[in-house]
Amino acid sequence: MKILLDNIGLISMSGEKAYVENAYLVIEGQYIKEVGEGPAPAGEYNQVIDGQDRVVLPGFINTHTHAAMTLLRGYADDMPLMDWLENKIWPLEAKLTADDVYWGTMLAITEMIRTGTVCFSDMYFFMDAVAQAVGKSGIRAVLSRGMVGVGPESELAFSESREMVDKWHNACNGRITCRLGPHAPYTCLPDYLERVMDLGDELGVGIHIHIAETRGEFEDMQRLYGNTPVAHLNKLGLFERPVLAAHCVHLTSEDIEILKAKEVGVAHNPESNMKLASGIAPVQQMLDAGIRVALGTDGASSNNNLDMLQEMRSASYLQKVHLMDPTVIPAYQALQMATTNGAIALGLDHEIGQLKSGYKADMIIMSFKQPHMLPVYDPMANIVYAAQASDVETVIVDGNILMQDRVIKAFDEEEVLSKARETALGLVAK
């Protein structure tokens, strides 16, 4: 399959010219074959997409979510984190089946495709069902089976994590990769984390974990171990492996130095952190230190959507008002957090996050022919500060068109919406 995007605006995120007004891009198979400025090369193409009044850029990378929690959207709002988890979310999650998780994940993927996400990093359970949804839909994903070290499923999490990695790591033409998912240092005691690290070393996969999400967690770790959550995990040796750290809201300057030195990927989730009143992460300080901070939505039960356009805007605005400085997190840097930084955080920067020859053909096309997108003085600013999800017209992953002209082609969207509605109603009725 050979596809030409012609006469299109281009934001490559490759560190070269930030915006090319009249560009072309050639896709061959699952890869980008050529990117250039000016007239497209002559040749035979299976499909030509006219880029007039449109911009192509790398698709968004959602580095932290719990996809099937779309089924819990709106179920337990306006509550503090631990009360929300212990009294509402965890009891309802205990009723979930693999079929529930499949349709919840398909609902999440539908929403993510419609809002321009091409890759997501998921931590949940019934991961075979999640992987099947990823395989069916054509999206890219990094999957982690959530592992809680206390409770009746602590051992089951080990066997299921091993099975997931054996079955799904590098599956679906490489669209699926896997990590281990110890939930957090407050739910995984040191001896449990030691076993997780050993398993990760054996299987050759990295780790996805929540760190320093709340002030309570920060204080509890200091009381129990005499260290911050980051220092505690560093002392255990966790950061000697590839680690994706979700949240990192409550950090000291020493914590930031550790995260930088150990090249930890950070998934910043501004809207979830605001909604749960978890705090404001020191994002600008982390970026200044050289940490490649990426973006995530967290689950739809604490956000309450999976829209990375909103996440970029919130990340920028929140730091501006928090630091009383309108220059922090400018538009291009917000785009980096949602694309190239996400690829780095997931260890996929050698193949996605930029539009350049030899990279996987993961990209989105956005329409600029809308009142709220005109005039176009700075296309990056328009995308970060003005764009809406409905401006995402086309989504391509691995060279396959998943959505074109706002119509999802990879699967039956109506079936997903119907099944998800039915599943949610059955869940709360159990």
Q: What are phi and psi of 2, to 5 degrees?
A: -125, 120
Question: 46 vs 60, 139, 403, CA distance in Å?
Answer: 26, 21, 17
CA distance 308 to 14: 20
Span 116-126, pLDDT tens digits? 999 999 999 99
Please check whether residue 118 is in contact with residue 397, taking contact to mean a CB–CB distance below 8 angstroms: yes
The per-residue pLDDT string of the chain (430 residues; one tens digit each, 9 = 90 and over) reads: 899 999 999 999 998 788 999 999 999 999 999 999 999 998 999 999 999 999 999 999 999 999 999 999 999 889 888 888 889 888 999 999 999 999 999 999 999 999 999 999 999 999 999 999 999 999 999 999 999 998 888 999 999 999 999 999 999 999 999 999 999 999 999 999 999 999 999 999 999 999 999 999 999 999 999 999 999 999 999 999 999 999 999 999 999 999 999 999 999 999 999 999 999 999 999 999 999 999 999 999 999 999 999 999 999 999 999 999 999 999 999 999 999 999 999 999 999 999 999 999 999 999 999 999 999 999 999 999 999 999 999 999 999 999 999 999 999 999 999 999 999 999 988 7
Three-state SS letters, 157-203:
HHHHHHHHHHHHCCECCCCEEEEEEECCCCCCCHHHHHHHHHHHHHH
Centre a 10 Å sphere on the Cβ of residue 16 and count the other Cβ atoms it contains: 10
- The CATH number that domain 2-58+354-408 falls under is 2.30.40.10
H helix or E strand, kind and range, residue 40: none
Question: 170 vs 46, 83, 136, 178, CA distance in Å?
Answer: 28, 37, 15, 8
H helix or E strand, kind and range, residue 388: none
Please check whether residue 416 is in contact with residue 104, taking contact to mean a CB–CB distance below 8 angstroms: no
**347 closest CA partner among 103, 178, 225:** 178
Q: Which string of DSSP letters, residue by residue, matches 193-236?
A: HHHHHHHHHHHT--EEEEES-SHHHHHHHHHHHSS-HHHHHHHH
**388 closest CA partner among 332, 310, 317:** 310
> In the prediction, which pLDDT does 82 show?
84
The answer as to CATH 3.80.10.10 being correct for domain 60-345 is no
- Alpha helices by DSSP H, listed for 247-376, are 253-261, 270-275, 283-289, 308-323, 331-338, 340-345
Task: Report the predicted TM-score, pTM, of the whole model to 2 decimal places.
Answer: 0.97
CA distance 135 to 337: 26
Please compute Rg for the chain using Cα positions: 21
What are the extents of the domains in the chain?
Answer: 2-58+354-408, 60-345
Amino acid sitting at position 423: T
CA distance 401 to 48: 12
End-to-end Cα spacing for the chain: 47
H helix or E strand, kind and range, residue 127: helix 127-137
Centre a 10 Å sphere on the Cβ of residue 174 and count the other Cβ atoms it contains: 14
Cα–chain-centroid distance for residue 356?
21
Tell me the sheet residues that pair with 211: 247
Q: What are phi and psi of 365, to 5 degrees?
A: -115, 125
Phi-psi region of 316 (alpha: psi -120 to 50; beta: other; left: phi over 0): alpha
